[in-house]
Structure 1
Amino acid sequence: MRLKSNIWVAAYLRRCQVNGIFGAVRRRGSEEAGAVFVKLALLDGNALLFTPAPQTAYDNSRPVERVFTPLSAEPVPEQAVEERLTKEIRFDPDVWIVEIEDKQGRHLLDLTSK
């Protein structure tokens, strides 16, 4: 069984805090199953956006963990990320937006566990 979005976001932000990475919820979505988007601001005017991975990226039909895919391989101007997030909100008003800030580019999304 997969964690509810609100619990996953709270745990993710706590893990970031423990590792000295500032993070905050910018938009609360559906507490049960809202998609979570993570914006990594690099504090130089550029950012990365991590989106939920497509269902084909999961081994099971009901994944236990959340998997994220970077929207681009390299950082892009923050304005481009903001434009994409605006489109996502129009498409699905239940999305969560979490923003973290780290000059080193740490996001801890590769540390998901089952």
Structure 2
Amino acid sequence: MRLRSDMFVSALIRTVFSRGGYAAVERKGMDQAGTIFIRQRFRDGLETLFGPAPQSLVDGEGALDRRFERRLERVEPEDVAALMAREIKWDPDLWLVELETDAIDGLFVVEQV
């Protein structure tokens, strides 16, 4: 069974804070199975957006893990906001988590596409 969305987000935020970074829930989605997007903000004002990886990238062994792919990389905040507006229109129950940390290693699994 896969970890609930609210529990995954809570663990992510706690881990970021424990590493000295900042994290916040920008948009709260459905507790049990809401789609999760992660917005990483950098000191130079640019952002990277991670969204759920397509199911075709998840192998049988990792089916229980939440996996992400880079949707946008080091772009202006307006580009992330525009993409998220389209995603929210399609799925209003999604989560948007904001991270202010340079290193995301070990926080979540990023699939290489």
**TM-score range, shorter-chain basis?**
0.7 to 0.9
1:92 is aligned with what amino acid?
D
Distance in 2 of aligned mates of 1:86 and 1:41:
18
Residue 92 of structure 2 corresponds to which residue in structure 1?
Answer: 93
TM, length-normalised to structure 2: 0.88
Is the Cα–Cα contact under 8 Å of residues 5 and 33 in structure 1 kept in the other structure? yes
Q: Distance in 1 between matches of 2:105 and 2:96?
A: 16
Determine the C-alpha separation between the residues in 2 that align with 1:38 and 1:109. Answer: 14
| RMSD (Å) for aligned C-alpha atoms | 1.8
Q: Which amino acid aligns with 1:30?
A: M
Mapped pair 1:107 → 2:92: no
Runs of 4+ in 1 over 6 A off after TM superposition: none
Structure 1 segments unaligned to the other structure (5+ residues): none
Structure 1 residues 70 and 88 mapped into 2: Cα distance closer, same or farther (>3 Å)?
same
Q: Report SS of the residue matched to 2:89.
A: helix
SS at match of 2:6: helix
Count of paired positions: 109
State the one-letter code of the partner of 2:94: V
Structure 2 residues not aligned, in runs of 5+: none
Aligned counterpart, 1:42:
42
Displacement of 1:110 in angstroms is: 5.5
Q: Name the CA shift for 1:111/1:31 in 2 (closer, same or farther; >3 Å).
A: closer
Work out whether residues 88 and 94 of structure 2, in 8 Å CA contact, stay in contact via their aligned partners in 1: yes
* Alpha-carbon spacing, 1:95–1:111, altered in 2? closer, same or farther (3 Å): closer
TM, length-normalised to structure 1: 0.87
Structure that is richer in strand per residue = 2
1:64, distance to aligned residue in structure 2 (A):
1.2
In structure 1, how many angstroms separate the alpha carbons of the residues matched to 2:14 and 2:70?
21
Q: What is the aligned partner in structure 1 of residue 80 from structure 2?
A: 81
